[in-house]
């Protein structure tokens, strides 16, 4: 085995083949056991747990695997944290009310033959509710501390609160130093080492941290158990006349009335909860399925620079109108123009559009640009032009060319009411990732944004003076674009 690729140099990973197999089995089983145990523990409130904790985390994990931009991942993480903060507030209020109700129950006169389960349930309920309040307050403080951090935070470090993640060979897995089990990303590498490498470059490593999922949902779990124990104790207390042989007296009738009302309320709660979450699950499932349909591309494809080859272009038509090669000051109306064009595309082709992204210079605040909105449209199958091309043409786009050998690229242009270049790619292709990485980098780095603005202005001036086309203008920017992208790739760990 190649010493640079084999497991011998990977810290925390068994060196023998037998040890590797045992490690794989142990980690796989532990993950499955943790998943099953969590499902069992959350059974009383499983729908709430799924929608408020598990599904958002799985969506974030999928976004990481699909190499969504750090901006998008941070936005998803923020939405999840905001949702959890609201949950923690709910838990504190509800648990306080449950505690007050239980304490009030202790003042009731006990029946002649009260079963021991009633006070046992109520004492347990108080314990659960008090600890749910304390834990919710503690985790709320943690989330608020992260939310109010005065300095920008590393996305990978924020993701460590829910995921194991490894983006490249040179980045260590983000995991607790107290973990005794070898980091899951390394074990995933073991699983696929026979398929071409020890730490492959094709994908980042992402695994859900089940211990953290349990941690972040624990306040709701304790509150739910507290409510169940309160109702259990109340039921045993009220139904005492039915099992102590008092006969059909007033207390027995009250107990029957209580059981009927309890049954009706329980059925109503289950029915409404089922259908409410059923609708929400259908919506989330469709959204998640659409996101999961995106194909991941390899890091090698992303960092590979494209060499333009005019021989592979199949020209469909010539532009009916050519925008001037003029670099305009930043226009605050560009984002709204993108939204208007995006709505036009969505209305034209509907669900065929997997994603519609604003890219290019007009997508970067404070960056001068040509007054042309660049848009990436990702579809499942660009070769099925009948599914989108006629509809786009009816919406005002002109089908100009196709490049089948370059990510199945199709190119459309719009001239009215806005100037727009529309690039159609297959979902998950490298060029989509490159465009987003470039956009994200220029937004966050003023020096490279200023460098690119200067390069664009000088290139446009030179091309206009020589009577060149937009193609020559793009060639003049190529070296600077590559240099900026290489800095972005290195920052992400894609390049050494």
**Domain-by-domain residue ranges, the chain?**
42-162+209-292, 302-492
pLDDT on residue 404: 82
Q: What is the pLDDT of residue 27?
A: 64
pLDDT at res. 150: 57
User: What is the residue-averaged pLDDT of the chain?
Assistant: 78
Structure confidence at residue 229 (pLDDT):
94
Backbone angle region of 84, left / alpha / beta, with phi > 0 → left and psi within -120 to 50 → alpha? alpha
Res 121: pLDDT:
93
Q: What is the pTM of this model?
A: 0.51
User: Residue 100: its pLDDT value, please?
Assistant: 94
Show contacts of 442-450: CB within 8 Å, 24+ apart: 442/364, 442/367, 442/484, 443/71, 443/364, 443/365, 448/484, 448/487, 449/364, 449/366, 449/367
- The span from the CA of 393 to the CA of 400, in Å, is 11
Residues 415 and 45: beta-carbon distance below 8 Å: no
Range name among 10-19, 205-214, 273-282, 333-342 with the lowest pLDDT average:
10-19
CA distances to 3, 27, 170, 187, 410 from 21, rounded to whole Å, are: 19, 10, 25, 10, 47
Residue % of the chain over a pLDDT of 90: 24
Better-predicted residue by pLDDT, 33 or 69: 33
How far, in Å, CA of 144 to CA of 159, rounded? 16
Query: How high is the pLDDT of residue 82?
Result: 87
pLDDT on residue 151: 58
Q: What is the pLDDT of residues 149-180, one digit of tens each?
A: 655 566 777 787 888 765 443 334 433 332 33
Average pLDDT over residues 75-80: 85
As to burial, measured by CB atoms within 10 angstroms (0-12 exposed, 13-18 middle, 19+ buried), residue 467 is: exposed
The 10 Å Cβ neighbour count of residue 2 is: 8
Superfamily for domain range 302-492: Beta Polymerase, domain 2 (3.30.460.10)
* pLDDT of res. 293: 40
Residue 200 has pLDDT above 50, yes or no: no
Least trusted range by pLDDT, from 145-154, 200-209, 360-369, 437-446: 200-209
Specify the pLDDT at position 451: 92
| β-pair partners for 166 | 205
Find tokens 């796989």 and name the residue: 28
Predicted pLDDT of residue 343: 92
pLDDT at 299: 72
* 289-305 pLDDT tens trace: 444 444 456 677 787 77
Spell out the residues 6+ positions from residue 318 whose beta carbon is closer than 8 angstroms to its own. 400
Residue 417: pLDDT above 50? yes
Bigger pLDDT: 192 vs 19: 19
More reliable by pLDDT, 493 or 27: 493
Q: Is a pLDDT exceeding 80 seen at residue 87?
A: yes
| Mean pLDDT (whole number) for 398-424 | 88
Please write the tens of the pLDDT for every residue from 434-491: 898 899 899 988 899 999 999 998 988 888 888 877 778 888 888 888 889 888 888 8
**pLDDT at position 130 over 70:** yes
Name the region of 252 (left: φ>0; alpha: ψ -120 to 50; beta: rest): alpha
């Amino acid at each position: 085995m190649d010493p640079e690729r084999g497991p011998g140099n990977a810290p925390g990973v068994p060196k023998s083949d037998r040890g590797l197999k045992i490690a794989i089995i142990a980690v796989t089983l532990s993950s499955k056991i943790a998943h099953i145990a969590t499902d069992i523990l959350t059974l009383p409130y499983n729908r709430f747990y799924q929608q408020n904790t598990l599904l958002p985390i799985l969506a974030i994990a999928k976004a990481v695997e699909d190499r969504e931009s750090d901006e998008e991942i941070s936005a998803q993480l923020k939405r999840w944290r905001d949702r959890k903060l609201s949950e923690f507030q709910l838990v504190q209020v509800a648990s306080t009310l449950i505690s007050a109700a239980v304490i009030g129950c202790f003042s009731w006169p006990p029946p002649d033959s009260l079963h021991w389960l009633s006070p046992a349930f109520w004492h347990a309920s108080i314990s659960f509710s008090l600890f749910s309040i304390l834990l919710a307050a503690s985790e709320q403080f943690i989330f608020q501390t992260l939310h109010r951090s005065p300095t920008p935070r590393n996305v990978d470090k924020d993701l460590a609160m829910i995921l194991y993640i490894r983006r490249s060979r040179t980045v260590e897995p983000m995991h607790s130093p107290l973990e005794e089990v070898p980091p899951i990303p390394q074990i995933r590498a073991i699983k696929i080492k026979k398929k071409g490498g020890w730490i492959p470059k094709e994908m980042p490593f992402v695994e859900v941290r089940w211990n953290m999922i349990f941690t972040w949902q624990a306040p709701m779990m304790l509150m739910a158990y507290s409510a169940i124990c309160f109702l259990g104790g109340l039921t045993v207390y009220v139904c005492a006349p039915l099992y102590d042989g008092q006969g059909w007296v007033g207390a027995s009738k009250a107990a029957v009335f209580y059981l009927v009302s309890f049954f009706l309320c329980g059925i109503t709660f289950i029915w409404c909860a089922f259908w409410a979450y059923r609708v929400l699950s259908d919506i989330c499932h469709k959204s998640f399925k659409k996101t999961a349909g995106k194909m991941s591309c390899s890091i090698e494809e992303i960092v590979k620079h494209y060499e333009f080859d005019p021989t592979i272009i199949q020209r469909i038509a010539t532009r009916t109108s050519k925008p001037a090669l003029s670099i305009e000051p930043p226009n605050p109306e560009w984002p709204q123009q993108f939204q208007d064009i995006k709505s036009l595309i969505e209305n034209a082709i509907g669900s065929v559009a997997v994603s519609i992204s604003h890219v290019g210079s007009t997508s970067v605040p404070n960056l001068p640009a040509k007054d042309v909105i660049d848009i990436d449209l990702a579809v499942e199958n660009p070769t099925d032009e009948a599914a989108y091309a006629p509809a786009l043409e009816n919406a005002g786009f002109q089908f100009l060319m196709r490049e089948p050998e370059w990510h199945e690229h199709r190119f459309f242009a719009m001239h009215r009411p806005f100037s727009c270049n529309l690039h159609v790619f297959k979902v998950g292709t490298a060029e989509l990732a490159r465009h987003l990485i470039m956009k994200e980098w220029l937004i966050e780095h003023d020096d490279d944004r200023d460098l690119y603005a200067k390069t664009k202005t000088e290139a446009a001036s030179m091309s206009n003076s020589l009577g060149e086309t937009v193609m020559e203008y793009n060639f003049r920017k190529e070296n600077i674009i590559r240099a900026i992208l290489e800095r972005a790739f290195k920052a992400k760990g894609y390049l050494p």
